[in-house]
Structure 1
Amino acid sequence: MICGVDEAGRGPVMGPLVIAAVMVDTDAGLKELKVKDSKLLTRQKREALAPRIREVARVEVKVLSAEHIDKFRTDDSLNMLEAMAFAELIEIMSPDLAIVDAADVVEERFGKMIMDNMRCRPEMVCKHKADVNYPVVSAASIIAKTVRDGIMDDIGKELGQPVGSGYPNDETTRSFLEKWIRENKDFPPHTRRSWRTAKEIYSLSSVTRLTDWTDNR
């Protein structure tokens, strides 16, 4: 059994980090679906593929809220949080082979972080661009992105206005945060307050137009 794991939402200033694991006995069905890295697909195409992936593969998802991320980062790194979540899903799947998209600049280090948090011992492939080069990881990226998009839509409904993708280079997200901070003198729910970007926004909250946003990847 082959398990692919990937995430969506590592860098945004708003919203959750979503990790998805997809397991198959062969990736032939995924190749027939022509799965690709989610970033190479439109939202419409991702949403069309997600239920078809679930038909041919076992899928598990873990959602880490902005609040959980902030709390964890008081004592440890985002890489460790992600590695622990990857490990949890791989444990649930218990595959023979696990292929993961490396979050760390050093592939081997991230793979070891995952293995250190697991009892099962699958063969591990931890590579940059795994979501491009391995169909089972491409499928996981599509599932993770689709789930996260739906959550961001729900957050917008909860807060009464569109919030965009949560990434700081998203015009809708920027405009929403600027307006909310001016009106409420605080961040809205689901903001990653520990992010450098968030702190910069807060310090400039009286400015009508914020510039020089930086992603806290």
Structure 2
Amino acid sequence: MICGIDEAGKGSVLGPMVIGGVAGKDLSEFVKKGFADSKTLSPRRREQFYEEIVAEFKTTTVVLSAAMIDELRSSMTMNEIVARSHARAITDLMPDTAYVDACDVNEVRYAETISGFLKNDIAIVSKHKADDLYAVVSAASIVAKVTRDRMIEDLKSQWGNIGSGYPSDPDTIAFLKRYIEERGEPPSIARMSWKTISNMMAKKNQKKLFEF
């Protein structure tokens, strides 16, 4: 038994990070399905693949809210948070070998970090761009991406146009600036420990000083 693990939303300033995991017998059954890295697929194709994956394979998701990420960052690095979450997904699937997208510049170190969070002896194949190299990780990236995209759409129904949640998205930045200007604080769906937020709050406070 093998599994693939990947995440979506690691760098987002708004909303959750989602880890997706998919398990199967061997790599070949994922290769023949034609799964590809979720970033290379259209939203419609991702949704089609997602329905196929959840219908035919064992899957799992681990969701970390913005507040949970902020709390964990007080005691560990973001890479450790992702590794711990990858380990949780691996534990749910209990494979013999897990293929993971390495979130550390050192692939071997990242595998060791994940192993430190596991209770069972599971082989970890940690590679950069694993979602391109292994179809099982591509499948996991699709599960993570589609799950997070659906959660972002739910947040939009509550909060309005928040964009994708990433700091590089003009809609996300516009939403944050407007919200902080009107309310004087970030929205509860924001990752307060992100520099994007601390910089905006610093500018807001500086502006208030000049008003006196």
Give TM-score, length-normalised by structure 1: 0.90
Which digits, 9 at most, give the CA deviation of each residue in 1:34-93, with x for residues without a partner? 211111112222112101111221100000000000011112111111111111111121
What is aligned with 2:96? 96
Q: CA separation in 1, counterparts of 2:92 and 2:186? A: 35
Q: Where do 1:37-52 residues align within 5 Å?
A: 37-52=37-52
Conserved 8 A contact 1:24-1:56: no
* Correspondence for 1:179: 178
Deviates more, 1:136-145 or 1:23-32: 23-32
| Distance in 2 separating the partners of 1:6 and 1:136 | 10
Say if 1:29 and 1:56, in contact at 8 Å, map to a contact too: no
Aligned twin of 2:8: 8
- The CA deviation at 1:203 is 2.1
**Worse overlay, 81-90 or 127-136:** 81-90
- In structure 1, the partner of 2:167 is 168
The letter of the residue matching 1:191 is A
Match in the other structure for 1:192 = 191
Match of 1:157 in 2: 157
Amino acid at match of 1:146: V
Q: How many residues align?
A: 206
> What are the Cα deviations for residues 161-183 of structure 1, in whole angstroms up to 9, with x where unaligned?
12111001112111111111111
Distance, in Å, in 2 between the alignment partners of 1:9 and 1:103 is 13
1:112 and 1:158 map into 2 onto residues whose CA distance is 40
| Structure-1 residue corresponding to 2:105 | 105
User: Unpaired segments of 5 or more residues in structure 2?
Assistant: 207-212
State the match for 1:34 in structure 2. 34
Partner Cα separation in structure 2 for residue 28 and residue 49 of structure 1: 17
SS of 2:163's partner is coil
Give the match for residue 54 of structure 1. Answer: 54
Matched, 1:134 2:134: yes
Supply the distance in 2 between the matched residues of 1:49 and 1:13 (Cα, whole angstroms). Answer: 27
Task: Give distance in 1, aligned partners of 2:53 and 2:140.
Answer: 9
Q: Following TM superposition, by how much is the alpha carbon of 1:29 offset from its aligned partner in structure 2, in angstroms? A: 4.0
One-letter amino acid matched to 2:192: R
Shift of 1:28: 3.8
Letter in 2 for 1:37: D
* Aligned residues: CA RMSD: 1.5
Stretches of structure 1 that go unaligned for 5 or more consecutive residues are 208-217
- Residue 158 of structure 1 deviates from its aligned partner by 1.6
Give the Cα separation in 2 of the matches to 1:69 and 1:137. 23
From the superposition, tell whether residues 204 and 44 of structure 1 become closer, same or farther in structure 2 (CA, over 3 Å). farther
Contact 1:33 1:49 in 2 (8 A): no
